[in-house]
Amino acid sequence: IGVGLVGFGLFFLLFGILLYFDSVLLAFGNLLFLSGLVFIIGFRRTFTFFFQRPKLKGTSFFLGGLVVVLMRWPILGMLLEAYGFISLFR
Protein backbone atom coordinates (compact mmCIF):
# COMPACT_ATOMS: atom_id res chain seq x y z
CA ILE A 1 0.00 0.00 0.00
CA GLY A 2 2.80 2.39 0.91
CA VAL A 3 4.72 1.94 -2.32
CA GLY A 4 1.53 2.48 -4.30
CA LEU A 5 0.75 5.68 -2.39
CA VAL A 6 4.28 6.99 -2.93
CA GLY A 7 4.06 6.09 -6.62
CA PHE A 8 0.72 7.84 -7.05
CA GLY A 9 2.05 10.80 -5.08
CA LEU A 10 5.03 11.17 -7.39
CA PHE A 11 2.74 10.74 -10.42
CA PHE A 12 0.43 13.51 -9.24
CA LEU A 13 3.40 15.75 -8.47
CA LEU A 14 4.80 15.24 -11.95
CA PHE A 15 1.38 15.66 -13.55
CA GLY A 16 0.78 18.84 -11.52
CA ILE A 17 4.10 20.28 -12.70
CA LEU A 18 3.36 19.35 -16.33
CA LEU A 19 0.01 21.13 -16.12
CA TYR A 20 1.71 24.42 -15.26
CA PHE A 21 1.85 23.99 -11.49
CA ASP A 22 -1.75 23.02 -10.81
CA SER A 23 -2.01 23.55 -7.07
CA VAL A 24 -4.70 20.91 -6.45
CA LEU A 25 -2.69 18.13 -8.11
CA LEU A 26 0.50 19.22 -6.33
CA ALA A 27 -1.21 19.28 -2.94
CA PHE A 28 -2.79 15.87 -3.56
CA GLY A 29 0.56 14.47 -4.67
CA ASN A 30 2.29 15.82 -1.57
CA LEU A 31 -0.30 14.30 0.74
CA LEU A 32 -0.13 10.94 -1.02
CA PHE A 33 3.67 10.96 -0.90
CA LEU A 34 3.76 11.68 2.84
CA SER A 35 1.06 9.13 3.65
CA GLY A 36 2.89 6.51 1.58
CA LEU A 37 6.09 7.26 3.47
CA VAL A 38 4.23 6.70 6.72
CA PHE A 39 2.89 3.37 5.45
CA ILE A 40 6.34 2.22 4.32
CA ILE A 41 8.46 3.03 7.37
CA GLY A 42 5.85 3.58 10.06
CA PHE A 43 4.56 6.63 11.87
CA ARG A 44 7.14 6.73 14.67
CA ARG A 45 10.16 6.35 12.36
CA THR A 46 8.76 8.95 9.95
CA PHE A 47 8.25 11.37 12.82
CA THR A 48 11.75 10.79 14.20
CA PHE A 49 13.25 11.14 10.71
CA PHE A 50 11.61 14.49 10.00
CA PHE A 51 12.11 15.99 13.46
CA GLN A 52 15.75 15.18 14.17
CA ARG A 53 17.74 18.16 15.38
CA PRO A 54 20.08 18.43 12.33
CA LYS A 55 17.21 17.98 9.85
CA LEU A 56 14.86 20.54 11.38
CA LYS A 57 15.71 23.22 8.80
CA GLY A 58 14.90 20.90 5.89
CA THR A 59 11.71 19.75 7.57
CA SER A 60 10.53 23.30 8.13
CA PHE A 61 11.16 24.21 4.48
CA PHE A 62 9.47 21.02 3.22
CA LEU A 63 6.37 21.33 5.40
CA GLY A 64 6.29 25.10 4.89
CA GLY A 65 6.33 24.52 1.13
CA LEU A 66 3.45 22.08 1.54
CA VAL A 67 1.45 24.73 3.40
CA VAL A 68 2.27 27.33 0.74
CA VAL A 69 1.10 24.95 -2.00
CA LEU A 70 -2.13 24.37 -0.08
CA MET A 71 -2.59 28.16 0.08
CA ARG A 72 -2.52 28.22 -3.76
CA TRP A 73 1.00 29.58 -4.34
CA PRO A 74 2.31 26.52 -6.19
CA ILE A 75 5.57 27.80 -7.71
CA LEU A 76 6.88 29.29 -4.47
CA GLY A 77 5.70 26.25 -2.53
CA MET A 78 7.44 23.82 -4.85
CA LEU A 79 10.67 25.81 -4.64
CA LEU A 80 10.51 25.68 -0.84
CA GLU A 81 9.70 21.98 -0.92
CA ALA A 82 12.55 21.25 -3.32
CA TYR A 83 15.05 22.99 -1.05
CA GLY A 84 13.65 21.17 1.96
CA PHE A 85 13.71 17.82 0.13
CA ILE A 86 17.33 18.29 -0.91
CA SER A 87 18.36 19.31 2.58
CA LEU A 88 16.45 16.41 4.17
CA PHE A 89 17.64 13.57 1.94
CA ARG A 90 21.29 14.45 1.32
Q: What is the pLDDT of residues 31-81, one digit of tens each?
A: 999 999 999 999 999 999 999 999 999 999 999 999 999 999 999 999 999
pLDDT score, position 61: 97
Beta-carbon contacts of 43 under 8 Å, excluding residues fewer than 6 positions away, are: none
Q: How far is CA 73 from CA 32, 37, 68, 76, 85, in A?
A: 19, 24, 6, 6, 18
Whether the Cβ atoms of residue 59 and residue 51 lie closer than 8 Å to each other: yes
Q: Tell me the CB-side half-sphere exposure of residue 7, using CA atoms within 13 A.
A: 4
pLDDT score, position 53: 93
pLDDT score, position 59: 95
Q: How far from chain centre, in Å, is Cα 42?
A: 16
pLDDT-derived band at 90 (thresholds 50, 70, 90) equals: confident
Q: Can you give the pTM of this predicted structure?
A: 0.88
Beta-carbon contacts of 44 under 8 Å, excluding residues fewer than 6 positions away, are: none
